[in-house]
């Protein structure tokens, strides 16, 4: 690695360009709070481990294309009633779900 001597007057404006910054040379400690926004996130870099409990509400998921969101799940005995955001509901047999789960485990 070659060494560069910094002139007595310092580094001139615009002398440090993107091409002169090594990969991983700028750490999180050098970034100002709120300096990076969503356009700079890598696709797939935010997963469930990065989302705190209760942070995604029904209001934030309104209009999610292709999905019907669950509003409530009520369990009674061996059945569960699922109410969806669009107002429809279904009854799910917990016993059947358990058997399917156990079969997949074998």
For the stretch 62-76, pLDDT in tens is: 666 666 667 777 777
Q: Give the number of domains in the chain.
A: 1
Is residue 27 domain-resident? no
Is residue 93 domain-resident? yes
Is residue 94 domain-resident? yes
Confidence at residue 84, expressed as pLDDT on a 0 to 100 scale = 74
Is residue 68 domain-resident? yes
Average pLDDT of the segment spanning 13-41: 88
Is residue 18 domain-resident? no
Three-state DSSP at 77 gives coil
Residue ranges making up the domain that contains 103: 64-106
The separation between CA 61 and the C-alpha centre of its own chain, rounded to angstroms, equals: 14
Is residue 84 domain-resident? yes
Is residue 57 domain-resident? no
Is residue 70 domain-resident? yes
Name the more confident of 55 and 63: 55
For residue 82, the surrounding DSSP H or E stretch is strand 79-84
**pTM value?**
0.33
pLDDT by residue (tens digit) across 25-34? 988 888 888 8
Confidence at residue 6, expressed as pLDDT on a 0 to 100 scale = 82
């Amino acid at each position: 690695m070659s060494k560069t001597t910094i002139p007595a007057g310092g580094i001139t404006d615009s002398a440090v360009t993107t091409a002169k910054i090594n990969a991983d040379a700028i750490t999180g400690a050098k970034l100002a709070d709120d300096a990076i926004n969503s356009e700079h996130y890598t696709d797939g870099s935010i997963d469930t481990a990065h989302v705190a409990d209760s942070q995604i509400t029904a209001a934030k998921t309104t209009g999610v294309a292709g999905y019907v969101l669950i509003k409530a799940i009520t369990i009674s005995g061996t059945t569960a009633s699922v109410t969806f955001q669009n107002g429809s509901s279904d009854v799910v047999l917990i016993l059947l779900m358990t058997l399917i789960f156990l079969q997949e485990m074998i």
